[in-house]
Copies of this chain bind each other. A is one copy, B any other.
Amino acid sequence: MTDTPKFRRQIPEERKKEMVEATLRCLEQKGSEGLSVRNISAEAGISIGLINHHYPSKDDLVAAAYEKLATDLLQYVVRLVEQSGGTPRERMSAFFKGYFSSEILDQKILRVWVVFWNMSEKSEKVRQSHDRTYAGFRAQLEQMLCDLVNHPGIPDFNHRLAAIGLSAMLDGLWLEWCLNPATFAPEEGLRICEAWVDGLVSGAFDL
């Protein structure tokens, strides 16, 4: 008779991390239908009651999951730019290439995001997390756009509005592709964004 322990104790910090990751896996697989405490606890290999022991309510766990996914995706795109050397324009292209790769252009992520959007109005934490990470995303774009201008012969423009517009175009393409991948190919989305930047630096925009 091997005496295998019925469970393994863990420090709250690590257990919480596991639960957050399990929550994201559940959301990626089944969207809002996978968000029950029973499904999450099964995915994490823990009991039902443990969730409310570490989190005041389920919504707090989901808010923590939003925080992680949003931060991870932001980090992903930031590293894309950092790792790619070259000119500012080349770095922008590297960013686009990563954005329209299967890492981000993924229907599984939309499944998660839709649940978060649904929560953002009710959960203060989710809304704050959105505002913070989205501001970071736009700041990254604005910095890249700014770098483009710091070269001779490039006309200036309203960096803030340009970042908002580019961010919107990226999000809109991402969303529509996830809802119906037949509408356009990822390479076409990439081309649309490249053309937008080319137009911007050519001074055609009155921004």
Contact = CB atoms under 8 A, between A and B. Distances in A.
Given A195-B207, A204-B202, A205-B196, A184 B161 contact: yes
A194 B206 CA distance: 9
Q: How large is the interface on A (under 10, 10 to 19, 20 to 34, 35 or more residues)?
A: 35 or more
B195 A168 contact: no
Interface stretch (A2-10, A140-148, A175-183): A175-183
Interface of A: 31-32, 107, 110-111, 114-115, 117-118, 120-121, 127, 130-131, 134, 138, 161, 164-165, 167-173, 175-176, 179-180, 183-184, 188-189, 191-196, 198-200, 202-207
24 contacts: A32-B118, A107-B121, A114-B117, A114-B118, A131-B180, A134-B179, A161-B192, A164-B176, A168-B169, A168-B173, A168-B189, A169-B172, A170-B172, A171-B175, A172-B173, A175-B175, A195-B206, A195-B207, A196-B205, A199-B199, A199-B200, A199-B204, A204-B204, A204-B205
